[in-house]
Amino acid sequence: MVVIGSRVGGCAAAIPLARAGRRVIALDKMSFPSDQLSTHFLTPTGVTEFAKMGALRRILDECDPTRVHHINVAAEGIEALERMRPGDTGVDFGVCIPRDQLDVCLVATAREQGVDVREKSAFQALHWRAGRVSGVRYRDPEGQLRDISCRLVIGADGRRSTVAAAAGASRPYRMSRNGRGLVFRYATDPRAGEGGIETDTFYQWREGESFGLVFPIAPKGRMLVLFMGPREEVSEARADGEAYWQRKLAQHAGLRARVAGTDWTAASKIRSTADCTAFFRASSGPGWSLVGDAAHFKDPVTGQGMRDAMWMGRTLAERVLPHLDDPLATDRVTRAWERHRDEHCLPAYHFANLDTRVERQSPALCELVRDAGRTTGPDLTDVFSRARTPQQIAPLPRLIKMVAKAMVSGERPRRETIARAVPELRTELEIRRERWRGRFRETQLVFGSDHPDPEMPTPPAVLAIDDRDAHAGSTAAAPVGVAA
């Protein structure tokens, strides 16, 4: 097998295959360590994926992350502090690790478990034989073109996937425009060493049209501070980052109090992106499959990308392993896996789409946070840990009850409460109807969730190589290798 991309999704796919005795070659155009724009937020279910890869001990030892047990959500001044639900292996903490640290550990773990990871090796083309992918062409670190024959190619090469382009699947069949941008930086945590709840908590403040977040990260004593306002704010941050930063601190009083005493002159540079269009791609075909951001990307407002990439890689590998010696069976399994992937990821996709709308938090959501805040057990935070879907956390009777509470409380005008509740309930009904229909590669958009005018970059130019031509000598490359 050949895996293109050896970060979270690629390693998660490659490791189970190699562990089962298959020869696996993972190609990555980068060398490690290298950075990657990412929120790198993981709840216990994400950390559990590290454990299933066999990477957790190495990550804890080498990255030394703060082990976080709580999430605090604040909506328009109403707060809920919850302890996160443990994963299915008993892991009860989350972590936040910058990618230049994390990916080194994953690559080392993959090599330790038998994956042939080749850095500075850039994928160039797919080989085809009788309508099925039969191998890959890549450029090695010395610039030499080389070919590998294989039973299956897994693309884990990100949103601008060259594997997707080579397979003719670059254009997503479903897309949604993001309303929010991301602006963030790293700094020394002024609460480090105090041993209080603040350094054991992922914080999220939802105020007006803006989100503010603070995550303890690796190594211990550092933090990530992130603002997610309207995507147009990214231009402001790039024009005058420090002025933007001070304006956002003034906007989020709770965040400002949490980071009070930070020496911003010693903080990292400010980083940003407004390029966060959500999408689903066709992710399986004859002899190929896609995982991670190459397959499906949701708005990072919910911090689900890394966890989902690892889940995709692992579950794909587990499903194809018994069938790899039968090409037709392998292709049937990858298609069935893609359907399962969609069922698993659609609820989080819609949740992220709802959160990326630039608007004040609704009265019903504020009441939901208030209701959850009555205890410290896992409730709303299950949406981040993926223990339950948003629809399971807030079934229609609970949503209607929260609307009624908002009407009674009178904190917001009743007309506003009704005006927000009616379209929100319609959206929730359409999300449930879509799940009930269960259509494969659904293209019908959901009112209030899928946002119009998405932007996607031009797909990369790639070659398609018919092996009959290659054996005839029409392509120049080093001798063909084999990955079992």
Q: What is the DSSP string of 94-131?
A: BEE--HHHHHHHHHHHHHHTT-EEETT-EEEEEEEETT
| pLDDT confidence of residue 482 | 60
Residues 406 and 429 in one domain: yes
pLDDT more than 70, % of the chain: 96
Helix (H) or strand (E) holding 289: strand 288-290
114: left (phi over 0), alpha (psi -120 to 50) or beta: left
Answer yes or no: are the C-beta atoms of 18 and 85 closer than 8 Å: no
Cβ-contact 10, 4 below 8 angstroms: yes
Same domain, 306 and 407: no
What's the CA gap between 437 and 439, in Å, rounded?
Answer: 6
Of 351, 416, 360, whose CA–CA distance to 385 is shortest?
351
Instruction: Check whether residue 328 and residue 291 sit in a common domain.
Output: yes
- What's the mean pLDDT when you consider all of the chain? 93
The band of 473, judged by pLDDT with boundaries at 50, 70 and 90, is: very low
Q: Does 367 score more than 70 pLDDT?
A: yes
Q: Same domain, yes or no, for 374 and 348?
A: no
Mean pLDDT, residues 110-129: 97
pLDDT tier for residue 474 given thresholds of 50, 70 and 90: very low
- Residue 472: is its pLDDT beyond 50? no
The CATH number assigned to the domain holding 24 equals 3.50.50.60
Residues 6+ apart with CB under 8 A from 204: 71, 72, 73, 74, 211, 212, 213
Residue 479, domain member (yes or no): yes
Which residues, including other chains, have CB under 8 Å from residue 90's CB and lie 6 or more apart?
Answer: none
Least Cα distance to 22 among 110, 123, 102 occurs for 110
**What pLDDT was estimated at residue 462?**
79
pLDDT on residue 40: 85
Question: Do 27 and 161 reside in the same domain of the chain?
Answer: yes
3-class DSSP assignment, residue 304: coil
Are 99 and 437 contacting, i.e. CB atoms less than 8 angstroms apart?
A: no
Domain membership flag for residue 11: yes
SS3 of residue 134 by DSSP:
strand
User: How far apart (Å, rounded) are the C-alpha atoms in residues 360 and 57?
Assistant: 42
Take residue 276 and report the two structure tokens written for it.
Answer: 């966060």
What's the Cα-to-Cα distance from 8 to each of 134, 209, 302, rounded to whole Å?
25, 32, 18
**299's tokens:** 């708005």
Domain assignment present for residue 309? The answer is yes
User: The tokens of 152 are what?
Assistant: 């299956």
Does residue 135 come out as left (phi exceeding 0), alpha (psi in the -120 to 50 range) or beta? left
Cα–Cα dist 398/368, whole Å: 8
347 with 381, same domain: the answer is no
User: pLDDT class for 469, splitting at 50, 70, 90?
Assistant: low
Q: Which domain holds residue 374?
A: 363-437
**Band of residue 248 on the pLDDT scale cut at 50, 70, 90:** very high
pLDDT digits 0-9 by tens, 59-76: 999 999 999 999 999 999
Answer yes or no: is 264 within a domain. no
Band of the pLDDT at 483, cuts 50, 70, 90? low
Cβ proximity of 67 and 95 under 8 Å = yes
Mean pLDDT score, 79-91:
95
What distances in angstroms separate CA 75 from CA 91, 213, 263, 360, one per listed residue? 28, 12, 27, 9
**Kind of pairing between the strands at 25-27 and 2-4:** parallel
Rounded average pLDDT over 49-63: 97
Q: Are 433 and 369 part of one and the same domain? A: yes
| Whether 290 and 433 share a structural domain | no
- Separation CA 397–CA 402 (nearest Å): 9
Could you tell me if 13 and 150 lie in one domain?
yes
Distances (CA, A) of 414 to 37, 55, 78, 420: 42, 52, 19, 10
pLDDT at 465: 82
Strands 132-139 and 145-150: antiparallel
pLDDT in tens, 145-181: 999 999 999 999 999 999 999 999 999 999 999 999 9
Asked whether the predicted pLDDT for residue 471 surpasses 50, the reply is no
List of residues 6+ apart from 444 with CB closer than 8 A = 434
Task: Tally the domains of the chain.
Answer: 2
- The verdict on residue 312 lying in a domain is yes
382 lies in the same domain as 346: no
Chain segment 179-188, per-residue pLDDT in tens: 999 999 999 9
CA distance 34 to 107: 12
> What pLDDT, on a 0 to 100 scale, did the predictor assign at position 36?
77
Would strands 222-228 and 174-176 be described as parallel, antiparallel, or unpaired?
unpaired
**Residue 296, in any domain of the structure:** yes
Rounded mean pLDDT of 416-440?
95
Kindly state whether residues 385 and 426 are assigned to the same domain.
Answer: yes
| Section 351-355 average pLDDT | 95
**pLDDT at 439 > cutoff 50:** yes
Find the mean pLDDT for residues 33-39: 77
| Structural domain includes residue 464 | yes
Q: Based on the domain organization, do 376 and 342 belong to the same domain?
A: no
**If pLDDT is split at 50, 70 and 90, which confidence band does 320 have?**
very high
Task: List Cβ neighbours of 105 (8 Å cut-off, separation of 6 or more).
Answer: 55, 58, 59, 62, 63
pLDDT at 269 over 90: yes
Reduced to 3 states (helix: H, G, I; strand: E, B; else coil), residue 46 is helix
The pLDDT confidence band at residue 424, using thresholds 50, 70 and 90, is very high
pLDDT score, position 103: 95
Q: Domain for residue 220, yes or no?
A: no
